[in-house]
Amino acid sequence: MDDLVNGNLLIIGGAEDKWGQSKVLKHAIEMCGGPEAKIMVLTTATQKPEEVGKEYRNVFSRLGVKSIDILNVDSRTDANSDSVAQKVSGAAGVFFTGGDQLRITSILGGTKTAKVLMSIYKKGIPIIGTSAGASVMSSVMIVEGNGNSAARKCTLGMSPGLGFIDQVIIDQHFEQRGRLGRLLIGVAQNPSVLGIGIDEDTSIKVYSNASFDVIGTNCVTVIDGASIQESNVSELKSEEIIALSNVTIHILPSGYGYDISQRKVKRPNENKHN
């Protein structure tokens, strides 16, 4: 359990405030070393890289960042190039934009750039992701599933992620898109995995000791399946609703935290890190 996390992550539930108080993005900048640090924005997830890249350049510039490198890696040839890998290696922080998480994994997976990302992450360089960029943080990620519906079997599509954090499934736009049912399915299928649902304009700041703080205007839902006493998920036909008993769900607003390895909520006055 000691190797669940090897570095520093900021995992954002999407739709972060870009033009107001920008609390989440200010934390991202702080993690990277402040406005003087060089932030790398990877637009691999989106099919509109110029538009999205320009927006984040404007956003980070407004927040005082002096050096912003927008990098559009949109092919495996790009991801395997020495020039791209070298650029990533020099970043003080890497920010994954939203879009389609399968674009990130299918383009970066197994490439020189992916290896550099893991290397700098293990050295403590912050890795930040919003929306699709949040889903890819874990070893296994959600790629599709019905929102705003009951927890039904086979409504969830899973795929390998980038592997910055183990033994969790991350879902984003959580409350706003009604994704509790699909995350419950993910946890029911493997109760040893922790389900973490992150609301919009909300994030979890994950530390190397496998604990996190909640930062933002909404909340984070943590589903712990270890306490489940009964589940019929293995017996169901497609689209049938699951039965679960004694599943543990925590609702954590900003200021609260959670210890992933200990499976324990950390209240604001307990929220200290080594």
Catalytic status, residue 27 = no
Question: Rounded to whole angstroms, how far apart are CA atoms 144 and 157?
Answer: 5
CA distance 30 to 40: 14
E strand or H helix at 52:
helix 49-62
- HEC per residue, 207-245: CCCCEEEEEECCEEEEEEHHHCCEECHHHCCCCCECCEE
- Strand order in 194-198's β-sheet? 168-172, 194-198, 219-224, 248-253
Spatial CA neighbour of 172 closest among 9, 10, 13, 16: 13
CB half-sphere exposure, 231, CA atoms < 13 A = 20
Look up 200 and say whether it is catalytic.
yes
Q: List Cβ<8 Å contacts ≥24 apart for 233-236.
A: 233/153, 233/185, 233/188, 233/189, 236/153
φ/ψ bin of 197: left (φ > 0), alpha (ψ from -120 to 50), beta (otherwise): beta
Catalytic-role residue among 16, 22, 131, 211? 131
Tell me if 218 sits within 8 A of 175, measured CB to CB. yes
- Of 27, 200, 203, 211, which is the active-site residue? 200
Contact 69, 40 (CB under 8 A): yes
Confirm whether 173 is a catalytic residue: yes
User: Pick the catalytic residue: 16, 135, 173, 175?
Assistant: 173
Which residues are known catalytic residues? 131, 173, 200
